[in-house]
Amino acid sequence: MPSTRIAELAAQIQDNTAKVDHYLQSRSLPSPSFHEDGPVDFQIEDEEIQKARETALDSSLELHQLLLGPAMCLRPLNGVSLQAIYKYSIASHVPIHGTITFASLAHKCSTTTSLSETDLRRIVRFAIAHHRVFTEPRTGHVAHSAASRKLASDANARAGLGYMFDEVWQAFAHTVAAREAFRGSDEPNRSGWSLSQRTDRPVWEHYAAHPAMAARFAASMSAFSNGLGLDPAFLTNNYPWSSIHNTNDTTNTTTPPHPPTVVDVGGSRGNISIALASSHPTLHLIVQDLPPMIAGAAASVPLHLASRISFAAHDFFDPQPVVAADVYLFRNIFHNWSDGHVVRILRATVPALRRGSRVVVNDYLLPERGSVGPGREREVR
């Protein structure tokens, strides 16, 4: 009997999952679990095992879709329960390592807004079924899963959830309308986001007038910057930072050169600069972003790094004020802008460059269609 695609996929899942499981067990690493005390991040450092994990995920996705069938694949997943969990701060009212009844949880959530026990029960049970957020260990009692515990204990994770639902999903819903209204414009104030927020300002100008939104965006970027494939270690470990030397004092051989200076353009709360300063003790870093983005950010820099990391307000469409730095770093900046706007950013940087200055771009590269697995293909598209 010839092998079918679903049988082939099942075999791939079994084989590659066994590789990941052996790797975790051999290194005494925790096995994946949604238990409240389960790991929320993977610690796979072996490239071959990471590939096995990705293959198992890709095969699982394809098998799920095949067994679901084309008609059901046309029904998008409803994420409104997660939106409600963010809006009503539900995770923060569930005790760590304990349970709470739906009635008591609804009462706690209703101190700031009206939320009935009936609606709360629907929200939580939907989240359990679809997202593995929360558990119901016995009927009528709510406890944390690893995912909901992450929301309860990590302010950046909560910010990321709010940003996705209050801004990103709203922009998705208005994207087609924006295409119709603005006829292909690539201006940042003519987009689905602009329509959803009812503003004619570009996003950064809107944030400047709404500091709470700006702070949430900055926190969410901190949460997302450590996702799979976005770990700062890829940048800190794989660019030759040790080859950077200050080029400003080449004519003066009697005075020791100044430490190399890296300008982290659009660096938000400075997470990447902190990682670079921690890994490379010779670097001095200047984090630039709009005032709402960097407000209060210096307070979160570890004391032993504070002398080497500073913050400065700067709009990267304006001329770069730091002249003759050794590196101008643009991490995850350009993918947010059309080609014309990226050219504007670079042109604003050029006058500050001197011989030996480097422009380092750490950003997404869109792979050729079909050159990566289905999971990665979905992510990049």
Enumerate the active-site residues. Answer: 335
Q: What's the helix, strand, coil split of the chain in %, to 5?
A: 55, 10, 40
**SS3 call for 262:** strand
Q: Are 201 and 189 in contact (CB under 8 A)?
A: yes
DSSP for 278-317 reads: HH-TT-EEEEEE-HHHHTTGGGGS-GGGGGGEEEEE--TT
**SS3 call for 45:** coil
Q: How far apart are CA 220 and CA 176, in angstroms?
A: 25
Q: Are 156 and 225 in contact (CB under 8 A)?
A: no
Tokens representing 112 are 């700031």
358 membership: H or E segment, kind and range: strand 358-362
Task: Tell me which residue has tokens 């950077």.
Answer: 244
Q: How far apart are CA 30 and CA 22, in angstroms?
A: 11
